[in-house]
Chain A
């Protein structure tokens, strides 16, 4: 069975936030909820990199482990989903998640948060596939239509990859090999390069020349 994973390539991410916009558009998330976000490290300095982060659909999901009402479940594809009807809005999943994926629509005193919302890998929820209730609560169910998440589909530079973990790992491995070769060519580590795209590496996906 395919295990669905995300991978964001920091060498390619140009911080366009296209993935963020695509997600919000496809899933009609409420105001204030950000299922996906782009974080930029070393902004403005040499070695600036950006990463697009949402739920990473962990195999041993900490959110599922700490949930007091056990509202999480993992599909056969390895996608971690939850049932909003069971969720009591306690926030424990947010405390446990390394990536800050769970989001809450309300901000209030006395622990008022509303029901948790997060990236579903465009996989919907426990309601019937592609039903109206499913769309209102969880957003699009692209997996049921045989499609991949919209954020990765929309990524202009193919920085954000989503799909079968083996396939993604293979793609990324090829990229790393090519980049390693380009580094030996120019003699500087691409971590330290000021230019995102090392010169003198024609034909490589990451070069501009």
Chain B
């Protein structure tokens, strides 16, 4: 077979399989109904009619219907009331207890466990394995990795993230951790300050996330070699794996942070603007998503921060002044290094005195 024939054959196979999968996916929602129908025929064979009771005393448990509607078990029932407001006609808010149980019995303990476990694992790793040194040492030549605008966007997001994370954690855990230290009045002041700071500067985080996403998404798509990088844990288990400008770990962090960050922003805006009148169920659901996303994002950010600072030698300078050592680039991002190795400059350039890199105007412009 010629290559075109083989290709055509492959295309047809792919099309067929896609078609079958699509059909299966479309038919899948019908499965519960099929199961239901099967059960009905089993319980009520064809021709069966339930017996009629003649003239019963129609005394159901008095008020059962009333209380069922009050209790909202069958769905939301809204009565009438003179009080104007959101959901004032609702007698029992079912979502409230569900949310209370989730927040106090799941989010608070499991969130602490998740964040504590990851922090603990990082500390254990640091104190046993230590900083991962740069193979071959520093070469003395540096390459520009992040431009000024990229670094600006990153640190802007960092500043907001820290403000929001710290104030958010104080609001979630302060009752258990800080009230014993500060007392009820002392913590009330702290919590009020944190609530104001969190609610007021939260919406800014949306702009930061948008800017961050637009700045970095181009190099974060899947590329060949990412799965291999993951399977070898980036070379942690020994050996060397290739990577482009961003390795698979960085890409996962980018997409996770994007997903969680936008979830936080949207749910945060819903929570911040209760004035819109969305109701308690929407608020509770938003809080659930907000809390889970926040805890996960904080926990994973510990790893990101560790790797960018103490974890790998030579990494922090990429975000601090934009430059990385040539050896670092060769060692960690060799495919990217191949693209940019012509731009390496001496590490001492632009450090003290003078301040003008000898690359001239072109170099200066690339800084921005």
Contacts and interface: CB of A to CB of B under 8 A. Distances in A.
- Direct touch of chains A and B (CB < 8 A): yes
Interface of A: 10, 17, 20, 34, 37-43, 47, 49, 51, 53, 62, 65-71, 83, 85-91, 94-100, 107-111, 113, 176, 179-180, 183-184, 187-192
B272 interface: yes
Given A191-B62, A192-B58, A39 B79 contact: yes
Given A10-B66, A40-B80, A69-B175, A111 B271 contact: yes
A82 to B, nearest CB: 11
A39 B96 contact: no
Top 7 A-B pairs ranked by shortest CB distance? A111-B199, A88-B192, A39-B79, A37-B83, A62-B100, A86-B188, A96-B100
Given A41-B77, A96-B96, A110-B200, 8 more contacts: A41-B69, A43-B79, A65-B100, A66-B103, A68-B175, A69-B175, A98-B92, A98-B96
Nearest to B202: A110
Contacts, number: 150
A189 B62 contact: yes
Interface of B: 57-60, 62-66, 69-70, 77, 79-83, 85, 87-97, 99-100, 103-104, 171-172, 174-175, 179, 184-185, 187-188, 191-192, 195, 199-200, 203, 271-275, 280, 283-284, 287
Contacts of A108: 275
Given A10-B66, A71-B188, A98-B97, A39 B199 contact: no
Given A95-B284, A96-B99, A41 B66 contact: yes
B58 A88 contact: no
B115 to A, nearest CB: 18
A44 to B, nearest CB: 9
A100 B88 contact: yes
Contacts of B64: 191
